[in-house]
Amino acid sequence: MEETSSTPGAPAEQREPSRARQSSEPLISVRGVTKFFGDFQALKDIDLDIHRGEVVALIGASGSGKSTLCRCVNRLETITDGEILIDGEPLPEEGKALTALRSDVGMVFQSFNLFPHLKAIDNVTLGPRKVRGVPKAEAEAQARELLERVGLADKADSLPAALSGGQQQRVAIARALAMKPKALLFDEPTSALDPEVINEVLDVMTELAQQGMTMLVVTHEMGFARHVCDRVVYMDQGEIVEEGEPEAFFTAPRSDRAKAFLSKILPH
Ligand SMILES: Nc1ncnc2c1ncn2[C@@H]1O[C@H](COP(=O)(O)OP(=O)(O)O)[C@@H](O)[C@H]1O
Ligand SMILES: [Mg+2]
């Protein structure tokens, strides 16, 4: 309060630029979300807003609920309680609106999930053609651009089996981008990869981040979380325990749980 009164007469938006930014509607808004699998509570009263262009790292031990949260945002799982808004709209139950939502929010999985019998380019054109009704020639032209963007212009006609894990994951990213999503969710996109190809995927993700894509990234790559992401969200046992600006989180975590987690994963 005292700080704002030090610039008397200035319009509110000049005095409080950060508040002005916060008042713009989040692209993804998770409010009071709980999720039960039978008696087991996988998500406990989760609140998380992600603004346009924001890149958020979601970290935490195995079983803490990170994948479940992503799957709820993309509506691959139903939520038990609370609400999730995408661009101000509540998640639809099913049908056409749900298909549209799924294309608004793209998802990249640990296990690529490419269709093995389809060439790279056909994996990328499938969604736009089937879901959006984009004509073949247009879908292919766009797919070639996207494959070029992920560094795979020369692999358009390759089957997934002929590609390395890193290349397959980059095709999966191109496929997600082909739906022109408003946001992308990544669930441990490099965890299944050989160490030598992890960086080629992280490089593509870094470029997307720099180009302004809104991203929620479940990752164990702490360098990426620290240097590319705007914010780190730390989950444990179905709860968000702590969140903050990466440098502050990694150098001075506040909670004992985050301290214990970081002491296990950061190099000695
Ligand atoms: N379909 C399911 N049925 C029952 N339990 C599940 C299901 N999916 C996840 N869980 C449980 O929910 C918890 C959180 O899982 P998950 O979201 O996959 O964690 P993380 O991605 O952080 O490793 C785990 O205890 C897991 O066993
Ligand atoms: Mg997981």
Kindly indicate the confidence band of residue 268, based on its pLDDT and cuts at 50, 70 and 90: low
pLDDT in tens, 205-261: 999 999 999 999 999 999 999 999 999 999 999 999 999 999 999 999 999 999 999
pLDDT at 78 over 70: yes
**Closest C-alpha residue for ligand 1 atom 6:** 37
Q: Is 63 in the pocket of ligand 1 (CB under 6 A)?
A: yes
pLDDT in tens, 4-37: 333 333 343 333 333 334 558 999 999 999 999 9
- Mean pLDDT of the chain, nearest integer: 90
Residues surrounding ion ligand 2 at CB below 5 Å: 67
pLDDT for the residue 132: 86
pLDDT for the residue 57: 98
pLDDT for the residue 17: 36
Q: Which tops the pLDDT comparison, 131 or 53?
A: 53
- Mutate which of 41, 68, 241 for ligand 1? The one with the most ligand atoms within 8 Å of its CB, which is 68
46 contacts 240 by C-beta, under 8 angstroms: yes
Q: Is 42 in the pocket of ligand 1 (CB under 6 A)?
A: yes
pLDDT in tens, 98-157: 777 777 899 999 998 999 999 999 999 999 999 889 999 999 999 999 999 999 999 999
**Closest C-alpha residue for ligand 1 atom 1:** 37
* Nearest ligand, measured from the Cα of 78: 1
Strand partners, 157: none
pLDDT in tens, 147-191: 999 999 999 999 999 999 999 999 999 999 999 999 999 999 999
- What is the C-alpha to C-alpha distance for residues 221 and 217, in angstroms, rounded to an integer? 10
pLDDT for the residue 16: 37
Q: Is 2 in the pocket of ligand 1 (CB under 6 A)?
A: no
**Closest C-alpha residue for ligand 1 atom 9:** 68
Q: Is 68 in the pocket of ligand 1 (CB under 6 A)?
A: yes
pLDDT for the residue 47: 98
Atom of ligand 1 nearest to the CA of 68: 17
